[in-house]
Amino acid sequence: MTGIRLISTTTIQATKHDENNSTHKKIDLTPWDLTLLKIETIQQGLLFHKPKTNQIQHLKQTLSTTLNFFPPLTGRLVITRHDEHNKASCSVICNNVGALFVHAIAENTTIADITQPNYVPPIVHALFPLNGVKNYEGTTQPVLAVQVTELIDGIFIGFAINHLVADGKSFWLFVNSWAEISRGFNKPTKIPTFERWFPDDINRPIQFPFTEDAQKKQREIPPIRLFHFTKEKVAQLKSKANAEIGHSSTNNTDKIIIISSFQALITHIWRSSASKQHAEPGEETSFALVMDCRTRMCPNLGENYFGNTRVFEIVTMKTKELMEGGIGKVSMEINKVISTQSHEKIMNQYESWLKTPIIIVPGMLSRSNVLMANSSPRFDVYGNDFGWGKPIAVRNGVGNKSIGKVTVFAGFEQGSIDVELCLPYDVLEALGNDQLFLDAMSV
């Protein structure tokens, strides 16, 4: 690891694992999970000021206690081959083999080295474990890995969780729980549920065509630039979008459409980045949305459902329509797509996958004229106090980075939003020099 000195690696197991207890021993995976087999783990991390005392042993002990409430995170995947048509099935075995804990030191790195550059520096990628590991490799690789790196004046905790086991909401549920137990809680405030959702008549585990990648391809890491939008600027974008649509009603109901802060912000990013692409007016440009299904299913799956509940939808417009429509009109198109995600529509997608399984491959949507938003500013990242103070920044690892990816997460100031953009360098530079784009940001 460049600029990193490895101190130790430790396997952390749950302290209360009963070999005879079959509860959640085997967790079959849903299409929402299985579609992610070939991409990489979730990697996100938190930067803190340096604690007054060494916290490594404390973090190991409290992680072990936390894992009592998260049995899948100390388990492994099992991929079973079936004779017919090269089919396979995949489950999580909660066998308490353990999570990986890495202790490292970045002797020449300061907090400022991470927070001040506009572009994410390479040292950040070295602060995460499981770089390059794909989810299906969870048969031998840990489901959860944590790397705690001591900086000159800070400490960085980098998390990597197998994406078949958790989505972003589940990821932060685990981190929030560990922070609580690290501060002295006996158990997490929110207890996760691990029972996956399946239709009543489905055969489990699901069988699907699957072949492992013949070899790992070395891929280039795209330029990654960070943009910070203050609470006031986010509010202005939202206000502008809603003013432009005049609080329009839908065609068949009297329901008032209210554009959210998130919808207004990603519209602003989409239109601004498209303006730097120099595309022809008739060319198509797209924005892919990843949406949580927990509250869209009937009955509701519950906020503490631990697993993937994601659906993808793509909003496509001609460049001319995108640029001339204004932030309100474009935001409304995004709003319509999000609002149509009903239980019935999600079920249709679910059943369609069962008939024709689609497994995402890295870079499937990697084009500069296709943006894809992931993560959420609603995730509680700055409430993660492990006992020595709240984080001062959140950063992502290199996993699943490709051209067009837009990662949105809460900013340090309540109500502000940070955006990580992966686009060609010339486009990112043009955005950084565009006064109209910067007017919606802090200086």
Give CA–CA dist 86/79, Å, rounded: 12
Give CA–CA dist 187/303, Å, rounded: 17
What distance lies between CA 282 and its chain's CA centroid?
A: 33
Please name which of 3, 29, 32, 46 lies closest in space to residue 385, comparing C-alpha atoms. 46
Evaluated on CA atoms 306, 308, 311, 317, the torsion sign reads: positive
Give 3-state DSSP helix, strand, coil % of the chain, rounded to 5.
30, 25, 45
Active site residue 254: no
Give CA–CA dist 408/419, Å, rounded: 5
Give CA–CA dist 220/376, Å, rounded: 26
Please name which of 293, 76, 316 lies closest in space to residue 170, comparing C-alpha atoms. 293
Instruction: Decide: 9 and 101 in contact? Cβ < 8 Å.
Output: yes
Active site residue 167: no
Instruction: Decide: 205 and 85 in contact? Cβ < 8 Å.
Output: no
Please name which of 341, 353, 321, 331 lies closest in space to residue 267, comparing C-alpha atoms. 331
Count other C-beta atoms under 10 Å from residue 201's C-beta.
5
The residue with tokens 């202005």 is 236
Please name which of 215, 214, 213, 208 lies closest in space to residue 86, comparing C-alpha atoms. 208
Beta strands in 16-175 (DSSP E): 26-28, 42-49, 76-82, 87-93, 99-105, 144-150, 154-161
- Calculate ∠ Cα 12-136-122, nearest 5°: 70
Give CA–CA dist 274/363, Å, rounded: 19
Choose, from 28, 58, 228, 385, the residue flagged as catalytic.
Answer: 385
Q: Residue 239 to residues 63, 235, 270, 435: CA-CA distances in angstroms? A: 43, 6, 18, 20
Q: Tokens in use for 404?
A: 């067009």
Instruction: Decide: 141 and 122 in contact? Cβ < 8 Å.
Output: no
The residue with tokens 């910070």 is 228
Choose, from 33, 113, 125, 163, the residue flagged as catalytic.
Answer: 163
> What residues are annotated to the active site?
163, 385
